[in-house]
Amino acid sequence: MKDKIKIIMIIGPTASGKTRLGVQIASRFSGEIISVDSRQVYKGMDIGTGKDIKEYGQVPYHLIDIAEPAETYNLNRFRNDAIAAISDVADRGKVPVLVGGSPLYIDSLLSQYSLPGRGPDQNMRANFANMTNIELTGILGKKLSVDELNNRNRLLRTLEIKMNEDNVAPDFPFIPEWLIIGTLFDRAEVRRRIAKRLRERLDAGMLNEVAELHKKGLSWEKLEYFGLEYKYAALNLQGRISDSEMESVLFVKIRQFARRQDTWFRKIEREGHKIYWIKEGSFRESEKLSSAFLSGENIPDPQIKLSQIFYGKKTS
């Protein structure tokens, strides 16, 4: 019989204080952080991914700096690594505290993908509907021709086959019991936080970080493949966009990413996963909820649902 493992997962849009809250929760309940971030796995990509290693203090962390930027780290590898890390942390009597905002990585743990291998998988394609073609190639972990990259249907089919071959959804060797906490800010505050964090990263030397990665052999193409900060910093260093254009375009692109995260979180809710949205990521409220969860107490349903929050749209 499989053991049950209680797992706390902290999610939320970019720049919403997930790491800080995760460290607080892990410190309070003798936990260890397991990163759920598609880029923090790479060594040397620190400022642009917001690793904030100093923020962890004495709290152990996993799935950070475990791959070289030149190698392929895909969804299947993440899922296997995350399952192994959860088992390891729990076996040592610690609480696994998963922290991150990479929607597909989150969903790969909460949901089971079933790929029949015959014809299009419409459920899987619905999962990927809000991802760009560039983001989909990141999951594939392989270089595509321009024609393949621009052919959405072919790209999705290639992804279906790849995920089927890799067996992305093996059974958990344990029974997971999830407490999902979401850091919630209104969109105006998220925009402000994104702008502030972007400026801080630029001031901290993000361009120098990207230049150093290129100097060590990482191609401009590979840097652009990593998206967002790395893509537009690479374009700037190549002289293809100015400093001001880089910052303004990056701000827009990160905001768009935050909206895609919002769409994914709504999807996760619709699929029946309870997300406890905590306003401004309050540690006091999160601590109380986590304590009840870890003690085996009955927890009431979430009071806030993203499905009930609409940004500037009237509903009929």
Query: What does the pLDDT look like over 143-180, one tens digit per residue?
Result: 666 666 667 776 777 776 666 555 445 578 999 999 99
Look over the chain and give the mean of its residue pLDDT values, rounded to a whole number. Answer: 88
Is 70 exceeded by the pLDDT of residue 76?
yes
Best-predicted range by mean pLDDT (65-69, 143-147, 303-307):
65-69
Amino acid 29: pLDDT:
98
The pLDDT confidence band at residue 201, using thresholds 50, 70 and 90, is very high
pLDDT-wise least confident of 101-105, 141-145, 223-227: 141-145
314 within some domain:
no
The pLDDT confidence band at residue 309, using thresholds 50, 70 and 90, is confident
**Mean pLDDT, residues 131-138 taken together:** 74
316 within some domain:
no
Q: How far is CA 91 from CA 4, 61, 81, 159, in A?
A: 11, 15, 15, 34
Q: How far is CA 100 from CA 123, 153, 283, in A?
A: 24, 29, 17
Whether residue 102 is found in the same domain as residue 221? yes
Whether residue 275 is found in the same domain as residue 300? yes
Whether residue 92 is found in the same domain as residue 205? yes
Whether residue 62 is found in the same domain as residue 203? yes
Amino acid 127: pLDDT:
65
Is 60 exceeded by the pLDDT of residue 140?
yes
Quote the percentage of the chain above a pLDDT of 70. 84
Q: How far is CA 70 from CA 44, 73, 141, 304, in A?
A: 11, 9, 11, 41
Whether residue 138 is found in the same domain as residue 158? yes
- Which of residues 113 and 22 earns the better pLDDT score? 22
Is 50 exceeded by the pLDDT of residue 117?
no
Amino acid 137: pLDDT:
74
Domain of 271 in residue numbering reads as 4-112+169-304
pLDDT-wise least confident of 2-6, 121-125, 234-238: 121-125
302, 39 Cβ separation under 8 angstroms: no
222 within some domain:
yes
Whether residue 202 is found in the same domain as residue 282? yes
**Mean pLDDT, residues 124-150 taken together:** 68
Q: Which strands sit side by side in the sheet containing 4-11, from one edge to the other?
A: 61-62, 31-35, 95-99, 4-11, 175-184, 275-279
Is 90 exceeded by the pLDDT of residue 282?
yes
For residue 200, give both structure tokens: 């801080």
180, 18 Cβ separation under 8 angstroms: no
The amino acid present at 172, given as its one-letter code, is: F
**Mean pLDDT, residues 186-191 taken together:** 93
Is 90 exceeded by the pLDDT of residue 299?
yes
Cα–Cα dist 100/40, whole Å: 10
Whether residue 195 is found in the same domain as residue 262? yes
- Write down which residue in 149, 168, 187 finishes a domain: 168
- Write down which residue in 168, 188, 205 finishes a domain: 168
Whether residue 80 is found in the same domain as residue 221? yes
Q: How far is CA 305 from CA 69, 103, 263, 276, in A?
A: 37, 17, 12, 8
Which residue, among 246, 305, 230, has the nearest Cα to 273 in the 3D structure?
Answer: 305
pTM for this prediction: 0.83
**Mean pLDDT, residues 279-307 taken together:** 95
- Return the bridge partners of 35, or none: 99
Amino acid 59: pLDDT:
97
Is 70 exceeded by the pLDDT of residue 87?
yes
312 within some domain:
no
Whether residue 159 is found in the same domain as residue 246? no
Q: Which residue in the block uniquely carries the two structure tokens 């998963």? A: 98
- Write down which residue in 168, 195, 212 finishes a domain: 168
pLDDT-wise least confident of 59-68, 77-86, 104-113, 154-163: 154-163
Amino acid 167: pLDDT:
46
- Which of residues 111 and 50 earns the better pLDDT score? 50
Angle at 98 between CA 93 and CA 101, to 5 degrees: 175
230 within some domain:
yes
Cα–Cα dist 123/129, whole Å: 10
Domain count, the chain: 2
3-state helix, strand, coil in the chain (%, to 5): 50, 10, 40
